[in-house]
Chain A
């Protein structure tokens, strides 16, 4: 049943929207489409209808490899006590945006 639904609607795509030229594309959400071209159009219709962006990326969700919950301790906790890794020990020149 679930499989049939999935094939009717196409596969899942993750959508990334760039809100202004020069800055990073940001994850906006996901959608269904049968191929990349349709995914782009769907992304345009679903995620940029209120002028949210100037550029779009769509990525098949199954192309994304995600870290797992089980890895969380070993992956992320060691960074907890390493405050010196934050770039807060020097001054950022004026005019530098989106750092």
Chain B
């Protein structure tokens, strides 16, 4: 595997994470429990679209086959997507959406903090720009974790259920492939093992403050996205997202 191939893989993963999460959050538009949360979630979605666009455009350049951000977003099949399984999980109720967001926000915050000193110029500027957005996302979702976890009996139960459901998808955020080893060795991306330590630390603190408990998955963690093996949900997301550009490739708006 060449260094460019490794970088392409990482950029796809980062771009797809933003794209799939944004698509999920967009489903809340007009449906959240109050107008304020509705706008907050779609703001986060738009930030993620912005990050996805930057990462996928750069991925196309690095790949060198002339593929644009749109080619990559709309003309790949689910096996070619590299987003983490966590992000394609269903919105469920607000508790589930917030928990998914929180688990990812802490990861993304740590990743971007590491990328600020990347040896790759694009990733450096990508990190500096995106970190401001993700700092807010993390603050927003952490707030809700504590508010609902340490809220009423009902909200506490809903949050704990969400955590029980989603925890199994957090392990693969830190999985390393050949590409990761190459990029870590070159100082292009931070070491994912070290990242996991800070993630564990922060996530643990917030969960404790939220009076929730980290579920015991007995060592089980779902895996697969690094190889393009997704849960059943991604196909439906892509079907909706890709329908228009695939049906009418020349469509403009």
A45 pairs with B39, CB closer than 8 A: yes
Contact-residue size bin, chain A (C-beta under 8 Å from the other chain): 10 to 19
A41 pairs with B43, CB closer than 8 A: no
Q: Which residues of A contact B34 (CB under 8 A)?
A: 9, 32
Flag whether B153 is at the interface (Cβ < 8 A). Answer: no
B43 pairs with A49, CB closer than 8 A: yes
Q: Which residues of A contact B136 (CB under 8 A)?
A: 44
Known A-B contacts A9-B34, A32-B34; the reply to A45 vs B143 at CB < 8 A is: no
Nearest residue, chain B, Cβ from A47: B39
Flag whether A17 is at the interface (Cβ < 8 A). Answer: no
C-alpha gap A31/B140 in the complex (Å): 17
In the assembled complex, how far is the CB of residue B93 from the closest CB belonging to chain A, in whole angstroms? 15
A-contact 0/1 string along B101-138, CB 8 Å cutoff = 00000000000000000000000000000000000100
Q: Which residues of A contact B39 (CB under 8 A)?
A: 45-46, 49
Q: A3-22: which residues lie under 8 A (CB-CB) from chain B?
A: 9
A37 pairs with B143, CB closer than 8 A: yes
Chain B interface helix/strand/loop/mixed = helix
Flag whether A56 is at the interface (Cβ < 8 A). Answer: no
A46 pairs with B140, CB closer than 8 A: no
In the assembled complex, how far is the CB of residue A43 from the closest CB belonging to chain B, in whole angstroms? 9
Contact-residue size bin, chain B (C-beta under 8 Å from the other chain): 10 to 19
Q: Which residues of A contact B147 (CB under 8 A)?
A: 34, 38
Q: Which residues of A contact B35 (CB under 8 A)?
A: 31-32, 46
Q: Which residues of A contact B140 (CB under 8 A)?
A: 41
Q: B140-191: which residues lie under 8 A (CB-CB) from chain A?
A: 140, 143, 147
C-alpha gap A41/B1 in the complex (Å): 45
Q: Which residues of A contact B43 (CB under 8 A)?
A: 45, 49
C-alpha gap A9/B34 in the complex (Å): 7
Q: Which residues of B contact A41 (CB under 8 A)?
A: 40, 139-140, 143
B36 pairs with A32, CB closer than 8 A: yes
Nearest residue, chain A, Cβ from B36: A42
Query: Which residues of B are interface residues toward A (Cβ below 8 A)?
Result: 34-36, 39-40, 43, 136, 139-140, 143, 147
Query: Which residues of A are interface residues toward B (Cβ below 8 A)?
Result: 9, 31-34, 37-38, 41-42, 44-46, 49
24 CB contacts below 8 A, A to B, read A9-B34, A31-B35, A31-B36, A32-B34, A32-B35, A32-B36, A33-B36, A34-B147, A37-B143, A38-B147, A41-B40, A41-B139, A41-B140, A41-B143, A42-B36, A44-B136, A45-B36, A45-B39, A45-B40, A45-B43, A46-B35, A46-B39, A49-B39, A49-B43
